[in-house]
Structure 1
Amino acid sequence: MVATTAHAPGLTVAATARRLGVAPATLRTWDRRYGIGPSDHAPGRHRRYSTTDLARLELMQRALVRGVAPADAARYALSVPAPERAPVPEGNGAQAPARSRGAAGRARGLARAALALDSVAVCDVITESVRGEGVETTWDEVVRPVLGAVGTRWADTATGVEVEHLVTACAVAAFGALLGRPDGAANPARPVLLAAVPGEQHALPVLALSAALRAHGVVPRYLGADLPAAALAAAARRTAPAAVVLWSLLPETADPRLLATLPRTRLRFRTFAAGPGWDATALPERTGRLTSLGAAVATISSAVHV
């Protein structure tokens, strides 16, 4: 058993989930099913993840992205002796990098503007963050924490849905504007199709991924929410994409047959499952699992630029 020390108190489940870009429920599932959880078991305290625990989770994420089954990915991560990562400060007076401090300030400003239902200020904060921090930081450290807090408020009090709608609308406008930005030169690369699966109405995360890919030189074709299977297949035949990314928030919308039956129009065609809805789903062979925005951008960019 590894206990955290006074100067390294470890991360809560919620903080660890934010770092990895997964839902807290996913971490609890990984702990319960595969034994890859927090090692701090100090009596009278909530269990916390050490830097070694976080490094193991990152190893598991990287394996999942490569299409490894969750049980095998966890077994691999647990087999590596004492993996290391750079310490990640989390509160307790620790000094964060300047970029994180800036993003935290923008998140506070976004929360204040959202609660005041000030649509101009909300849109300005998100747009300025995209311009100054980039899409990935804006999503991970500005927009998503605010939407998460609003979601918690809704779960506790059944209030605040108007705040969620306002922030979502402004984020859609800011990220969507990036998709129409010209390259300055013709890009001969095959596109990447990105869409939410049939029945899935929450497509903001895959729009953020599309915008981030665009900023990294990938040609995204964002097809929106609740895309019918027939329309997805038609789009794949028409564009011969390098890859297809399907987003699912909920398990009931995560149908692996959508991935398995896509028309293969290229020799190096790749499919990726994004979102927590796929967590408990057995994916088709050679389908990668995307578990965070940063990892998704890196993985898709590598696959497309090969």
Structure 2
Amino acid sequence: MTPSEKSANSDVDEPLYTVRVVAERVGVPTATLRSWNQRYGVGPPEHSRGQHRLYSETDIAVVRRMYELILEGASPRSAARTAVDSVRPARGDAAALLVAAFDFDVFTAGHLLDRHLRHFGVLDTWDLLIRPAFDAIAERQAQGESCIDVEHALSWTVTRSLQRYPIPAPAESAPIILACTPHETHTLALDALRAALVERGRGALMLGADVPRSALIEAVERKGRPVATMLWSQTQDTADVDTVNDLAARASVSVGGPGWDAVMDQIQAPRLKNLRAAVDYFVPD
């Protein structure tokens, strides 16, 4: 994005207009605008207690499009969804996501995530929005701020948005199994991988958190044909070398997550360093 493009994008996303001004410009009562904002997320996503909601030019464009669709006969809910999808959101606005997360405003956070996913896809949403938000939370924790609750709330919200991606029909290629190692409970990266694979027409079986070694082996054997697996470990304590090597004798195995840093020389599997690398590995060009 060039500096001029960035400046133009900032102008249309800058919150400047009160609900009364927007009502006069669009021809919709203020009470209706407030209802649309609360029920459908149409309007400004950020709101701090004691402050007025301010609309940007982008927000007004969404409101105007929703009003037009309603006049054409659409229901408010359908019109809201179409109007939101028709306007490109700010790309990688992690600051807005953080504000919503620290306010425990999961409605707004989910709204931001869903719009970004629809317009930019899983990979860009992960790299430009989700990861920067979690990095900022981790930095604040390192500085002594207690915000584990915020981290958990945001994790749940992100997972909910990613899990909206449908389960596609089985592909003819080797099935993909995604699982956390025994005692590992961090599934967010695997949820993102599954959603990114869906965007490319590939399904994956998600086994989720804390999968015992015996269950992983049984899942591979139950498929009865070649299987590609991905095992996630967030910490060194859950980097189960024996599980990887046992599974490698039965299927194609790869690993992901920082937990494998210290044991890569002990396992028989490639490490996929990030989400893009994992998608390229499972769905090569």
Contact map agreement 1:209 1:297 (CA 8 A) in 2: yes
Deviation at 1:137, TM superposition (A): 0.9
Contact map agreement 1:190 1:219 (CA 8 A) in 2: no
Q: SS at the partner of 1:273?
A: strand
1:236 aligns with 2:220: yes
Amino acid at match of 1:104: G
Deviations 1:73-119 (A, max 9, x none): xxxxxxxxxxxxxxxxxxxxxxxxxxxx94332x1221111121111
Tell me which of 248, 257, 267 is aligned to 1:275: 257
Indicate the residue corresponding to 1:103 in structure 2: 91
Contact map agreement 2:182 2:240 (CA 8 A) in 1: no
Unaligned runs of 5+ in 1: 1-100
Deviations 1:25-79 (A, max 9, x none): xxxxxxxxxxxxxxxxxxxxxxxxxxxxxxxxxxxxxxxxxxxxxxxxxxxxxxx
Change (3 A) 1:132 1:283: farther
Tell me which of 97, 110, 124 is aligned to 2:111: 124
Unaligned runs of 5+ in 2: 1-88
Indicate the residue corresponding to 2:204 in structure 1: 220
- Report the Cα distance in structure 2 between the residues aligned to 1:299 and 1:187, rounded to whole angstroms: 16
- Report the Cα distance in structure 2 between the residues aligned to 1:145 and 1:257, rounded to whole angstroms: 33
Deviation at 1:182, TM superposition (A): 4.0
1:154 aligns with 2:138: no
Amino acid at match of 2:127: D
Deviations 1:185-213 (A, max 9, x none): x6333320011111111111111111111
Deviations 1:133-176 (A, max 9, x none): 11111111101111121122223224112211111111111111
Amino acid at match of 2:258: P
Q: Runs (4+) of structure 1 moved beyond 6 Å?
A: none
Indicate the residue corresponding to 1:165 in structure 2: 152
Amino acid at match of 1:218: R
Contact map agreement 1:216 1:301 (CA 8 A) in 2: yes
Deviations 1:218-268 (A, max 9, x none): 221111111111111111111245311000111121122111112755xxx
- Report the Cα distance in structure 2 between the residues aligned to 1:144 and 1:214, rounded to whole angstroms: 20
- Report the Cα distance in structure 2 between the residues aligned to 1:288 and 1:217, rounded to whole angstroms: 23
What is the TM-score of this pair, normalised by structure 2? 0.64
Contact map agreement 2:168 2:201 (CA 8 A) in 1: no
Change (3 A) 1:162 1:284: closer
Higher relative contact order (CA 8 A, sep 6+): 1
Contact map agreement 2:168 2:198 (CA 8 A) in 1: no
RMSD after superposition: 2.0
User: In the comparison of the two structures, how many residue pairs are matched?
Assistant: 195
Contact map agreement 1:236 1:263 (CA 8 A) in 2: no
Identity %: 32
Amino acid at match of 2:243: L
- Report the Cα distance in structure 2 between the residues aligned to 1:219 and 1:283, rounded to whole angstroms: 30
Q: SS at the partner of 2:177?
A: strand
1:284 aligns with 2:272: no
Indicate the residue corresponding to 1:143 in structure 2: 130
What is the TM-score of this pair, normalised by structure 1? 0.59
Question: Which of these two proteins has the greater Rg computed from alpha carbons?
Answer: 2
Contact map agreement 1:192 1:241 (CA 8 A) in 2: no
Indicate the residue corresponding to 2:194 in structure 1: 210
- Report the Cα distance in structure 2 between the residues aligned to 1:223 and 1:128, rounded to whole angstroms: 27
